[in-house]
Amino acid sequence: MREIHPQDLEDIAVGAAILGTGGGGDPYIGKLLARGAIEANAPVKMISLEELPDDAKVVTCGAMGAPTILIEKIPSGEEMLMALRHYEDVTGETVTALMPFEAGGLNSCLPIVLAAQTGLPLIDADGMGRAFPQLEMETFNVYGVKAAPVALADERGNLAMVEADDAAKAEFLARGLCIRMGGQVCLVNYPMDGATAKRVSVPATMSLAQDIGRVLREAKREKKALLPTLIDFLSTTHYGYAKLLGSGKISDIERKVENGWSVGVVTIVPFDDSEPYKIRIQNENLLLEQSGEILAVVPDLICVLDIDTVEAIPTERLRYGQRVDILGIRVPEIMRTPEALAVFGPGAFGIDADYVALGGA
């Protein structure tokens, strides 16, 4: 078990932004909300899957919507708690443990807020191992857990509950509600017991986010080369492989909000003026190609990092002229099975390409 204190949140936010692959919401906002919740209540107890009782009543939680909207539509900090209480009131269940449904960005920090507010333990795991734009793109769904019921709440106290037979339909209905609630909501979903959580979750993603932040912080203090240090560290984790895929300057950004997602294409010109890199975005970075050659594709992580600080740049904060590195990270094995690739591989995003794992594994 780890305890999460206010001083730990900076490391978690730095690591969560990298795991967010450009999406998941800006962790800076989540960090501020989590700090306030911990200071007002108590440190959060984070437990491993191995420490979770088999009969625990688990729900997953996080935010849904287009990350660009968060720049102006700031959460109140009470949405997650309202969604949880609505879920419990409607279902009659009493939740005993919480888990993020995605490890990236804001959605690594918002579950900390809810854990601090309720005193419930936070499980060191998630269902994406990164950030994805759709609710059905979870290992929970891949391995047989129902997404519904899904409880939603917005900053004005509006509540909704979605019941659906499958995760894709739950996504479709919840996305429509999200758009009508201002394009950004908090939600609770994927109820399961502890034994199931151990079988279907991507392990140790919250602690990985914290450790990424710690490794980079210590490397800065010791004046080590930041990106090589990060790549070396990631090779020792259950992700197993990371690689610098390219570097350059952002020369063009096409971006819009469409059907509740931030979508677009980012063009990055290499410093040697060779053919530009193109990154396709749907909240997160999905595909990296150069001259028609695919260099990385979902579910592997494609992270756009500030070339000097190695801090991840969320898609909504990408700007013309930024100098960046493009880091690729291979996902854990639980996310590379045929069943998983059918749900969140290239074909799920309309990308006509076979998935080839980074590093060839």
Model pLDDT for residues 200-249, shown as the tens digit of each residue: 999 999 999 999 999 999 999 999 999 999 999 999 999 999 999 999 99
CA distances from 222 to 215, 219, 246 (A): 10, 5, 25
**Nearest Cα to 331, choosing from 351, 314, 345, 342?**
345
Pick the CATH number of 238-360 from 3.40.50.720, 2.40.70.10, 1.10.10.10, 2.40.390.10: 2.40.390.10
pTM of the model: 0.93
Percentage of residues in the chain with pLDDT exceeding 70?
Answer: 98
Q: Give CA–CA dist 237/243, Å, rounded.
A: 14
User: What does CATH list as the number for 2-203?
Assistant: 3.40.1610.10
Q: Which residues contact 149 (CB under 8 A, 6 or more apart)?
A: 87, 90, 91, 161, 162, 163, 189, 191
Q: Give CA–CA dist 234/243, Å, rounded.
A: 10
Percentage of residues in the chain with pLDDT exceeding 90?
Answer: 84
Q: List Cβ<8 Å contacts ≥24 apart for 233-236.
A: 234/329
pLDDT in tens, 291-338: 999 999 999 999 999 999 999 998 888 999 999 999 999 999 999 999
How many Cα atoms within 13 Å fall on the side-chain side of residue 251? 12
Q: Give CA–CA dist 313/306, Å, rounded.
A: 7
Q: Tell me the domain boundaries of the chain.
A: 2-203, 238-360
pLDDT over 90 (residue 146): yes
